[in-house]
């Protein structure tokens, strides 16, 4: 929810999308809903920036796999 909070604060997702994410039963469903709501490259870039800030080790591991 930290990522959704950041995107909502920057008005990159709507309150409706935020509440749908919040209501999802599993973290996987939350992520699918959030990612499917991204409508621009700017939102995807902000998602990546927040993810890198909040989960630097995860991003580092994923980048090494590329």
pTM, rounded to two decimals: 0.80
The predicted structure's pLDDT at residue 16: 96
What residues contact residue 54 under an 8 Å CB cut-off, 6+ apart?
A: 2, 3
Residue 54 structural domain: 2-65
Residues 34-59: tens digit of each pLDDT: 999 998 999 999 999 999 999 999 99
C-alpha to C-alpha distance for 20 and 17, rounded to whole angstroms: 5
What's the domain count of the chain? 1
C-alpha to C-alpha distance for 64 and 46, rounded to whole angstroms: 21
């Amino acid at each position: 929810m930290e990522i959704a909070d950041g995107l909502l604060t920057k008005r990159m997702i709507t309150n409706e999308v935020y509440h749908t994410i919040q209501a999802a039963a599993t973290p996987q469903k939350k992520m699918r809903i959030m990612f499917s709501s991204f409508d621009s490259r700017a939102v995807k870039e902000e998602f990546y920036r927040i993810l890198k800030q909040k989960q630097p080790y995860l991003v580092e591991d994923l980048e090494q796999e590329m």
